[in-house]
Amino acid sequence: MSGAIRLVVGLGNPGKEYERTRHNAGFWLLERYALQSGVALRKDGKYQALVGRIGSNGAWLVLPQSFMNASGRAVQMLAGFFKITPAEILVVHDELDFAPGVAKMKQGGGIAGHNGLRDISHRLGSHDYWRLRLGIGHPGDKNAVVDYVLQKPLAEDRADIDEAIGRSIEILPLCLSGDMQGAMQKLHSVEKEKAAEKKQAEKKPVEAKAAPKPEPKLEPKVVEANPEPEKKGLFSSLFGKKK
C-alpha cells in the first residue's frame, strides 16, 4: 500500500555498556517487537547494523551498530538499495522533552539536538521521515543532558517507558499497512486520556479534615439567693393547708 512504512529504525548505542541506558530506548522497542514477531535480527557487516525482515517481502527492521552519531549510514544504504523514500521510514528514538511513559508519533520536524536524527537527516537529505518518540524525561539542566542519556533510568521510569513501548508496538501493524493517521490517533488518544486524568487530579480539592466537635459549654450552676420559698412549698405539699 502506498505510504506504508517499509523501514523501521531503532536508535541506540551498541555494546553491553550502553544497552540499559536511556539513549537506547529505540533499541528496546525494536528488540521487543522483533522478539514478539519472531523476527531474527542478524549482524550485517555491509550495513554495520542488526537487520531483520518481517516476512519475505515485508518491512526491514534495523538497529545501527555504528554508534548514535553515525546512525544514518545504515539507513542511507538500506533506503538507497531498496528505493525506500523518507516518508516510508519510521525512526524510533528517545525524547528528552517528554516524560517517561509518553509516546508520540509525527512526520518531519527538527532534530532537537538528537545526534542520531541529525546524522539520518544529513545522509537522507530530508527531515520528512516519521518519528516515534519515547519520553525519557529531562535532567533539568542542559549541561547534564549527555551524562543523563547515558545513564540507566530509575526503576519506576523504566517501568513507565516499557509501558509506552508496549502501547507503541500495538500501533506498528497500522504503520506497516500505511494507516499512519489511524496509528497516530490510537497512540495519541491514550496520551490525551492520561493528560485529562492528570489535569482532573490537579483540580480535585484536597479533602479538609473534619473540624473537631466543640467541647460542650458548661453552664454555671445557679444558686438561688433565697431557698426559703422552696422549703415552704415542700412543707405545704406534705401537710397540706389547714382549713
* Domains of the chain: total: 1
Which residues are designated catalytic?
Answer: 23
Q: How many CB atoms lie within 10 A of CB 139?
A: 15
- The reply to whether 228 falls in a domain is no
- The reply to whether 236 falls in a domain is no
Residue 56 has pLDDT above 60, yes or no: yes
Indicate which CATH number applies to the domain containing 73. Answer: 3.40.50.1470
- The reply to whether 204 falls in a domain is no
- The reply to whether 190 falls in a domain is yes
Beta-strand ranges (E) seen in 85-137 are: 89-95, 103-107, 130-135
- The reply to whether 225 falls in a domain is no
- The reply to whether 119 falls in a domain is yes
Residue 239 has pLDDT above 50, yes or no: no
C-alpha cell at 208: 479538609
pLDDT tens digits for range 170-222:
999 999 999 999 999 999 997 767 666 666 666 766 555 555 666 655 555 54
pLDDT of residue 237: 44
pLDDT of residue 207: 53
- The reply to whether 215 falls in a domain is no
Structural domain harbouring 62: 7-198
- The reply to whether 131 falls in a domain is yes
